[in-house]
Structure 1
Amino acid sequence: MTAPQTPRRQFLKTAGLAAAGSVVAAPAIAQSAPEISWRLTSSFPKSLDTIYGTAETLSKYVSEATGGKFKIQTFSAGEIVPGLQALDAVQTGSVECAHTPTYFYIGKDPALAFGTGVPFGLNARQQHSWWHFMQGREMINAVLERYNAVAYACGNSGAQMGGFFRKEIKDVADLNGLKFRVGGLAGQILAKLGVVPQQIAPGDVYPALERGTLDAAEFVGPYDDEKLGFLQVAKYYYAPGWWEGGAMLHLVVNKQKHDELPATYKAILANACEAANNWMLAKYDAVNGPALRRMVEKGAELRFFSPAIMDAALKASNEVYAELSAKSPDFKKAWDSVQAYRNEVLPWWQLNEFQYDSFMVRTRGRS
């Protein structure tokens, strides 16, 4: 059996095929390729080496595939603009591109939530499938075009945790008045249940929890939550993060700069984003388990959201989606698409993937 290829090797092979799409000799192509230098602003700090590292990985792949002629210099949140202003910097041309989740920008258009994923939506693989095969890419880019941008899928966290809480949350009533750092549409949904949502940058979460100006915070999962130190100021660690079953990130590119790229560079960029997308999800799968074990050993107390909370959150989600669909044709189109795809794929998932995973979880000590 042939050994499996790494995402990097797969990308280099694919990019090489894309670049060799004519009979012109490789040296002639290399000689005619322009030198291009872009700046990328990330929405995340360098300390989060997986989510920020995805941008660095993308930059490396692009440089390797072009012999160093297409360079993307990466900057962390705050070095050029704050993390929540990455799309604005792309829109104005302050930077050529950004690595960011589109749901940070639902204030511009609520339909952008679907680029990342919505509460009780799709898991990581389903989100990726919806993006590529159910016109998700076309729908999100139609919205982004109004903001002078175009997006490529470029990373996914997988299912996220429900976050760290300073006190136990046993029933819906315990949510009333809770000051919770949470992003995307989850904030609007939780507000219906009495939560006071806060969307603040990762670096500001720890001091807010420590001072008590936040009662709870979610970010991604065990690996990043451990790095951010949440356990030191809040011990109850909840699952699941029902608002992010598979949070997709994107390379968002200034449309003019994107249109100026040679076709070969566009192909390389697209394949580099796919390779970086695979790298990020695989990395999180490798590091989240050990991080969770370490935090439990240090005193993290694992909890599940109660069925009553989950049911109330689902009901509130459907209310928010109905309200937004009535106001935004783009939101309604994307939501209808996600629902149709979800209803089609879940029976197959239940029959096969879910049964296999459930069996392996139950029997993991027997082999």
Structure 2
Amino acid sequence: MKRKPTFSRRRLIGGAGTSITALGAATLSTGLAGSLAAPAVRAESRFEWKMVTSWPVDAPGPGTTAARLARRITEGSGGRLTVKVFGAGELVPAFEVFDAVSSGTAELGHTASLFWAGKMAIAPIFTTAPFGLLPEGHNAWIAYGGGQALWDELYGPFGVKPYLAGNSGFQMAGWYRRKIEGLEDLKGLKIRAAGLGGEILRRLGAAPVVIPPGEIFTALKTGTIDAAEFLGPWSDTALGLNKAAPYYYWPGFDKPNGSAEALVNAKALAALPAELRSLVETACEAENARGLAEADWYNAQSLQGLEAGGTTLLRFPEPVLQAAKREAEGVMDTVAAKDPLYGRILESWRAARTASIAWGRVSRHALLDAQLAS
């Protein structure tokens, strides 16, 4: 197996204040008496931004994406815009990233929209939604299907500009301390589940709870919870979840995509010169592509390691999957009914999903079926 990269603690890139560039001085002779002209000077502004994240620093997956994004901006700007990264809990708690960016406590955040359901019930759809878009379809919806404009409209009143900035890919369904053989086994099950998938599990009789990523292992290991979903094999094993529960379930119907978001304080963004605003956007776009490639590669490597190490991989029983699918549309409809904007977002998302499924039936899904055929 190819050795995975190791990631050091964040680099704190210094540099503050405003530098003055002397453009030169000229001594002008009039033929009568020499006079000294004042030097022409131009102030080149420099900016220091704080990035707060919902992840432990350098945590494989979203943590490494956040660190790379900060480097892309800092290095791409030649040091004119430096970004210092703060992991979850270092400046603000994991679930207060949105508020920190909105208030200006931090200029930049790296997180996931599924954490903001209590603030905006439809927000999780911009990370993922049950039985929904896969990563490439989600990216297409945001870039070309009107998703970005709707996302901007949703976050705009909070003074926050969102960008796609990383993707952990297709998710697994999670780690369980005991086997799930039918719907009855979900009754009363305490499971860490974020986003709209948690509501589906609640409707099926489970007791979903939201726990910050850095606290999942302890809760699962000690039995405070019975099961936990986070991301995919790479990030999950980095948290040690394979040492906290023996059964690893698939497919991740609740989170078929894993879009991370960069949140930018709108006033801080507007204060940048045009070229630096453009740099922030292109850095997010580049990291969105790089993060997905990285996740796909290391998830595959980590899954092989888990199987070789004795982890028991299990498919959810078909009655559980079908029941979850039946509940999914009702969950989405309930959320959309809360606000006209939510309804427009869901309508747009569903149109994108319909188109993606139709194309996928004769492209990716057809090929995968052929690949898996015996």
| TM-score for the superposition, normalised by structure 1 | 0.88
Give the Cα–Cα distance (whole angstroms) in 1 for the partners of residues 280 and 336 of structure 2: 34
Give the Cα–Cα distance (whole angstroms) in 2 for the partners of residues 316 and 33 of structure 1: 56
Deviates more, 1:354-363 or 1:158-167: 354-363
SS in structure 1 at match of 2:191: strand
Give the Cα–Cα distance (whole angstroms) in 1 for the partners of residues 197 and 318 of structure 2: 17
SS in structure 2 at match of 1:281: helix
Give the Cα–Cα distance (whole angstroms) in 1 for the partners of residues 181 and 70 of structure 2: 45
Question: Which residue type is aligned with residue 178 of structure 2?
Answer: K
> Which consecutive aligned stretches of 4+ in structure 1 deviate over 4 angstroms post-superposition?
none
Question: Which residue type is aligned with residue 61 of structure 1?
Answer: R
Residue 305 (structure 2) aligns with: 294
Question: Which residue type is aligned with residue 328 of structure 1?
Answer: D
Report the Cα offset of residue 64 of structure 1.
2.3
Residue 12 (structure 2) aligns with: none
The match for 1:263 among 250, 269, 274 is: 274
In the alignment, is the contact (CA less than 8 A) between 1:111 and 1:140 conserved in 2?
no
Residue 236 (structure 2) aligns with: 225
Residue 133 (structure 1) aligns with: 144
Q: Deviations over 1:71-103 (max 9, x none)?
A: 111111110011111001111111101001112
Residue 316 (structure 1) aligns with: 327
Counterparts of 1:1-367 in structure 2 under 5 Å? 33-362=44-373
Give the Cα–Cα distance (whole angstroms) in 1 for the partners of residues 157 and 85 of structure 2: 25
Report the Cα offset of residue 361 of structure 1.
4.3
SS in structure 2 at match of 1:327: coil
Give the Cα–Cα distance (whole angstroms) in 2 for the partners of residues 358 and 109 of structure 1: 38
Question: Which residue type is aligned with residue 106 of structure 1?
Answer: A
Q: Return the structure number with greater relative CO, CA threshold 8 A, min gap 6.
A: 1
Give the Cα–Cα distance (whole angstroms) in 2 for the partners of residues 249 and 128 of structure 1: 11
In the alignment, is the contact (CA less than 8 A) between 1:157 and 1:284 conserved in 2?
yes
Q: Deviations over 1:296-334 (max 9, x none)?
A: 222210111122111111111111122222222122111
In the alignment, is the contact (CA less than 8 A) between 2:162 and 2:264 conserved in 1?
yes
| TM-score for the superposition, normalised by structure 2 | 0.86
Q: Which runs of 5+ in 1 are unaligned?
A: 1-30
Q: Deviations over 1:325-348 (max 9, x none)?
A: 222212211111111111122121
In the alignment, is the contact (CA less than 8 A) between 2:203 and 2:327 conserved in 1?
yes
Report the Cα offset of residue 162 of structure 1.
0.5
Give the Cα–Cα distance (whole angstroms) in 2 for the partners of residues 298 and 92 of structure 1: 46
Give the Cα–Cα distance (whole angstroms) in 2 for the partners of residues 185 and 33 of structure 1: 46
In the alignment, is the contact (CA less than 8 A) between 2:135 and 2:259 conserved in 1?
yes
Residue 26 (structure 2) aligns with: none
SS in structure 2 at match of 1:98: strand
Residue 20 (structure 2) aligns with: none
Give the Cα–Cα distance (whole angstroms) in 1 for the partners of residues 242 and 330 of structure 2: 33
Say if 1:235 and 1:333 are closer, same or farther in 2 by CA, change over 3 A: same
In the alignment, is the contact (CA less than 8 A) between 1:114 and 1:140 conserved in 2?
no
Say if 1:287 and 1:362 are closer, same or farther in 2 by CA, change over 3 A: farther
Question: Which residue type is aligned with residue 306 of structure 1?
Answer: P
More helix by share: 1
Question: Which residue type is aligned with residue 248 of structure 1?
Answer: S
Identity of aligned residues (%): 32
Give the Cα–Cα distance (whole angstroms) in 2 for the partners of residues 304 and 114 of structure 1: 25
Give the Cα–Cα distance (whole angstroms) in 1 for the partners of residues 337 and 98 of structure 2: 26
Question: What is the count of residue pairs matched by the alignment?
Answer: 333
Give the Cα–Cα distance (whole angstroms) in 2 for the partners of residues 32 and 245 of structure 1: 48
In the alignment, is the contact (CA less than 8 A) between 2:174 and 2:227 conserved in 1?
yes
In the alignment, is the contact (CA less than 8 A) between 1:38 and 1:71 conserved in 2?
yes
SS in structure 1 at match of 2:162: strand
Question: Which residue type is aligned with residue 314 of structure 2?
Answer: R
